Structure 1
Amino acid sequence: MTPRIDRCLSCGKDKPCLFAGTAKARCHHCSKKKEACSVCRRNGLVGTRTKAGEPICKICARTREPCSDCGKSRYVAGRAEGAPLCDYCYRSNPASFRNCRACDTKTRLLRGLCTPCTAAEYLSELFTAQLLRDSLEVQSLHAALLAADPARVVTAFQRTGSVELLRTLLNQEETRTHAFLDAAGPDQATRAVRSILVEHSLLPARDNNLARFKHWIVTAAQDIKDPAERQAFNQFARWRHLRELRQRPQPLSTNLVSSRRRELRIVIELLTWSAKRGRSLALLTQADIDEWLATGHGERHRVKAFLAWAQKNNNCQKLHIPRRQRTGLLVTGLDSRTRLKILEGLLEGNASAHPATAFAAAMTLLYGARPHQLTALQVTDILTRADDTYVRLGADPLLLPSRVGELARKVLLDRSAPRLFGTVSDAQWLFPGSRPGQPLTAAALIKRLRAAGVQPATARTGALGELAQDVPPVVLARLTGISVANAIRWSEAVSASNARYGSLGQLTSSSRS
């Protein structure tokens, strides 16, 4: 029987449950019997029992001894000729190998089967004969999983929640909707299942960032107690943000949607602050706004658009938000020697960083490319002419150094994207993400860069500061993709920094003389 979604009686979460639709509905995790361990007294799964029948948990049931292979004191998973072996060493030791009951291959087994046979059995349980007969899309998914790496398939089946959710969606066609997945759990829990269904046309493609932002507006508005203010918030969010986002090229970047969400949170912050002071939006005065701006964080000026809209629609009186003073650019990033040293390490043949990560790091260290700018690169933005390689960050293609160009060509050849049961090759994005048809998020790329030893902010500052000294602002803008106004700001900031440094040098020389 295929488990259906219900609210678990024990944990209270909506998950695939046994006895769904009854008062005994329980998810798979909560259905496993747990007892108080007679050794550690913790409530858990029973590993064994004493002679008297008292329960011993799985942890206490295992003994720790020095492993005969690695020498570390660990729990004993098995023995080879009487010598103890830990989990890690026992897996690869021939003493743990048995003959597969399906193909008779002697290897490490799972449920009495070798890895390929285990994967085949898992898939035969997931895809019933009737299910395969009824849907061409399901047949496509089944064929793709049969062709995938058996080890990856077996590993994916260890993610019980995702597999049971997939089983439910495959067998109950009425649940195969984005709305059902939205209600089934947070994005992190449903993303892998959603992606594989979209990939094989079992779900229509959608811009997940836009859909979740639309849902978030409705949820966030519930924090506004006054009905009139809640209505004004909803109207503003839909008129200004949803309308604008729908007109942008999709898919929308996570950073873009997060910025809009942040602005709306600040609007809610203002309405909550005024409500605590006994003021409604209609009664807010300039003195209230001035006090609110002066007593909070530096982003409060972002309510300007909301107040202008509210005043235009007769929801409040005319209120003034002063223009925020722009701070000067900091040009004290990583110096060229440090950046080149990091780059050399990444370009070495034995470097552990993936070519895509190394290429992104090189673009940050050399040209100050921004993470969201890099993730927006498509395959067509890498141009190859004879032995030369170009990348299009701005209006004009940028010629890459030969070794960085080699990295770019490697990235073109390997654009694998992670999925639940393995990887697929993306034909559009240079940095493909975990969702079909969407690139890697800027946050994920930043995490990879930091793991490779590159801090994007300081690396970018150092690179742009150095380029601004040597390249005219208009040329800098056309090659790196920043605006002409920003290129001019960088040039002015570098000139001012050099002038201060020169003045300090002259002062030091005169004091010495």
Structure 2
Amino acid sequence: MTTPTSPMARPCHPGDPVRWPEGCDRCYGRYEVVTVWQSRGICGYCYQAAKRITGICACGHEGVLPGIIDNRPACRTCSNIKLNVDCKSCGAEAELYSGGRCQRCVLADTIDRLLTNPDTGHMVPELVPVAEALKTMKRPNSGLTWIRQPHVDAFLADLAQHPVISHRLLDELPPSRTLDFVRGLLVEHGALPRRDERLARYERWALTAQARVVVPEHRDVIARFIRWGMLRRMRIMESVPNGTFLRSKQTVTVGIDFCNWLTTHGATLAELNQSHMDAWQAEGPTTRGFVSRFISWTAKAKITTEGITVIPHRRGTSPRLPAAEQREAIDRVVHHDDFSPRDRLAAILILVSVRTSRPSLP
């Protein structure tokens, strides 16, 4: 005999012993009684929970088990309970959701409606396995909760109107968690080939990043650096780690900023000298040291002169305030009347890592 199952319990409001002193005879909570089963008053919470208990009764009947006999769930016949849990569509015993139909039938109809092209009346082949996976998911109520969100409904209806579903098509759509989930379903069920999503995201990001380069000559260099200095190494990886993905973005971003800085100072990469690099690093944060990889690549490619020295970025090397000055500054922040508690906390966190070259707070 299988063990009866029921959904996860939902939180109940506190009972009211004044309004309902008798309360529920099943959970013994002081709640309003909505029906009487087996000569016992049943509250609304227990009534809803009973419709979701399924399994095999001691008599052998399989389905919804709303009653209790000998401390075990029992079917409607054995417990003499009148309860409508018969789906009009599939005939199965289950909690009814809408129009006398169970959640699974409503979910299936909703999926067919959304994933069928209204102009052709057909579902594109790529979406067929996705539809089947959603229809047969273990918890149809979760599927209904997800699919009935307005943005999910709109996304699926729009997707269904495309004659062919591909990675390229999905890449052209606005990024969202819904898109990522649907793409995962398409890949999981063989409708789309597997690919490294971080690599694909980097390629899309890189195309957009190149547009920020002011001078066409420098834009061409950045494009070549991305292709041969970044992507060439990433494409041979079995899977691009998140750290590599983030560092590669930062490296290109700093390279773009450096090229634009040279342009504003009337210079090109071909004219780059050590004074340019020293000024670039002196004027900005230490993260400008990430330009070292870009400069190394341009030197090997004969775009810049060899021998340009870049002070590399190192984490945790910023000098701290002397202990006495740090305590004094923190004390002023703590007793500063114009700071909110949140601003005061932020200021303290900054002070414990502030550089000696920065002025202290007034």
* TM norm structure 2: 0.56
Which of residues 293, 299, 308 in structure 2 aligns to 1:311?
A: 299
For residues 117 and 69 of structure 1, do their structure 2 counterparts lie closer, same or farther at Cα, with a shift above 3 Å needed? farther
Q: CA RMSD in A?
A: 3.7
2:252 maps to a residue whose letter is L
Work out whether residues 141 and 200 of structure 1, in 8 Å CA contact, stay in contact via their aligned partners in 2.
Answer: yes
Q: Distance in 2 between matches of 1:279 and 1:91?
A: 77
Helix, strand or coil for the counterpart of 1:225? Answer: coil
1:300-329 Cα deviation digits (max 9, x unpaired): 22212211222333433332114566868x
1:246 and 2:235 aligned: yes
Work out whether residues 229 and 297 of structure 2, in 8 Å CA contact, stay in contact via their aligned partners in 1.
Answer: no
Partner of 2:9: none
- Report the Cα offset of residue 106 of structure 1: 8.7
Q: Distance in 2 between matches of 1:237 and 1:68?
A: 58
For residues 92 and 167 of structure 1, do their structure 2 counterparts lie closer, same or farther at Cα, with a shift above 3 Å needed? farther
1:230 and 2:219 aligned: yes
For residues 169 and 203 of structure 1, do their structure 2 counterparts lie closer, same or farther at Cα, with a shift above 3 Å needed? farther
Q: Distance in 1 between matches of 2:92 and 2:311?
A: 78
1:418-454 Cα deviation digits (max 9, x unpaired): xxxxxxxxxxxxxxxxxxxxxxxxxxxxxxxxxxxxx
For residues 254 and 323 of structure 1, do their structure 2 counterparts lie closer, same or farther at Cα, with a shift above 3 Å needed? closer
1:150 maps to a residue whose letter is P
Which of residues 274, 281, 284 in structure 2 aligns to 1:293?
A: 281
Helix, strand or coil for the counterpart of 1:247? Answer: coil
Between stretches 202-211 and 308-317, larger displacement belongs to 308-317
Work out whether residues 127 and 186 of structure 2, in 8 Å CA contact, stay in contact via their aligned partners in 1.
Answer: no
| Aligned ranges 1:164-203 → 2 under 5 Å | 164-170=154-160, 172-174=162-164, 176-203=165-192
- Report the Cα offset of residue 291 of structure 1: 2.1
1:266-307 Cα deviation digits (max 9, x unpaired): 111212222223333233331221122123222222212211
- Report the Cα offset of residue 107 of structure 1: 5.0
For residues 183 and 94 of structure 1, do their structure 2 counterparts lie closer, same or farther at Cα, with a shift above 3 Å needed? same
1:160 and 2:156 aligned: no
1:216 maps to a residue whose letter is W
Larger radius of gyration, structure 1 or 2?
2
- Report the Cα offset of residue 118 of structure 1: 2.4
Q: Distance in 1 between matches of 2:92 and 2:313?
A: 74
Q: Distance in 2 between matches of 1:254 and 1:187?
A: 19
Q: Distance in 1 between matches of 2:298 and 2:98?
A: 64
Q: Please list every run of at least 4 consecutive aligned residues from structure 1 whose deviation after the TM superposition is greater than 6 angstroms.
A: 95-98
- Report the Cα offset of residue 259 of structure 1: 1.1
Q: Which has the higher contact order (CA 8 A, sep 6+)?
A: 1
- Report the Cα offset of residue 243 of structure 1: 0.3
| Aligned ranges 1:111-510 → 2 under 5 Å | 113-126=101-114, 131=122, 135=125, 138-148=127-137, 149-170=139-160, 172-174=162-164, 176-249=165-238, 251-318=239-306, 319-322=308-311
Partner of 1:386: none
* TM norm structure 1: 0.41
1:297 maps to a residue whose letter is P
| Aligned ranges 1:1-150 → 2 under 5 Å | 92=45, 94=47, 102=88, 109-110=97-98, 113-126=101-114, 131=122, 135=125, 138-148=127-137, 149-150=139-140
Work out whether residues 162 and 192 of structure 1, in 8 Å CA contact, stay in contact via their aligned partners in 2.
Answer: no
Q: Distance in 2 between matches of 1:294 and 1:245?
A: 31
Work out whether residues 99 and 106 of structure 1, in 8 Å CA contact, stay in contact via their aligned partners in 2.
Answer: no
Question: How many residues are aligned here?
Answer: 244
Partner of 2:351: none
For residues 92 and 172 of structure 1, do their structure 2 counterparts lie closer, same or farther at Cα, with a shift above 3 Å needed? farther
Helix, strand or coil for the counterpart of 1:173? Answer: coil
Work out whether residues 209 and 254 of structure 1, in 8 Å CA contact, stay in contact via their aligned partners in 2.
Answer: yes
Q: Distance in 2 between matches of 1:118 and 1:276?
A: 62
Q: Distance in 2 between matches of 1:279 and 1:69?
A: 73
1:145-198 Cα deviation digits (max 9, x unpaired): 332121122122123333443344445332x01121112111434101111111
- Report the Cα offset of residue 210 of structure 1: 1.0
- Report the Cα offset of residue 260 of structure 1: 0.5
Helix, strand or coil for the counterpart of 2:206? Answer: helix
Q: Distance in 1 between matches of 2:248 and 2:112?
A: 45
2:140 maps to a residue whose letter is P
Q: Distance in 2 between matches of 1:235 and 1:93?
A: 67
For residues 70 and 314 of structure 1, do their structure 2 counterparts lie closer, same or farther at Cα, with a shift above 3 Å needed? farther
Q: Distance in 2 between matches of 1:151 and 1:120?
A: 11
Aligned sequence identity (%): 25
Structure 2: gaps (5+ residues): 1-11, 17-31, 35-42, 52-82, 318-362
Work out whether residues 115 and 131 of structure 2, in 8 Å CA contact, stay in contact via their aligned partners in 1.
Answer: yes
- Report the Cα offset of residue 233 of structure 1: 0.7
- Report the Cα offset of residue 225 of structure 1: 1.0
Helix, strand or coil for the counterpart of 2:212? Answer: coil
Q: Distance in 1 between matches of 2:187 and 2:157?
A: 15
Helix, strand or coil for the counterpart of 2:294? Answer: helix
For residues 280 and 111 of structure 1, do their structure 2 counterparts lie closer, same or farther at Cα, with a shift above 3 Å needed? farther
- Report the Cα offset of residue 130 of structure 1: 6.7
Helix, strand or coil for the counterpart of 2:213? Answer: coil
- Report the Cα offset of residue 236 of structure 1: 1.1
Work out whether residues 290 and 312 of structure 2, in 8 Å CA contact, stay in contact via their aligned partners in 1.
Answer: no
Q: Distance in 2 between matches of 1:196 and 1:210?
A: 19
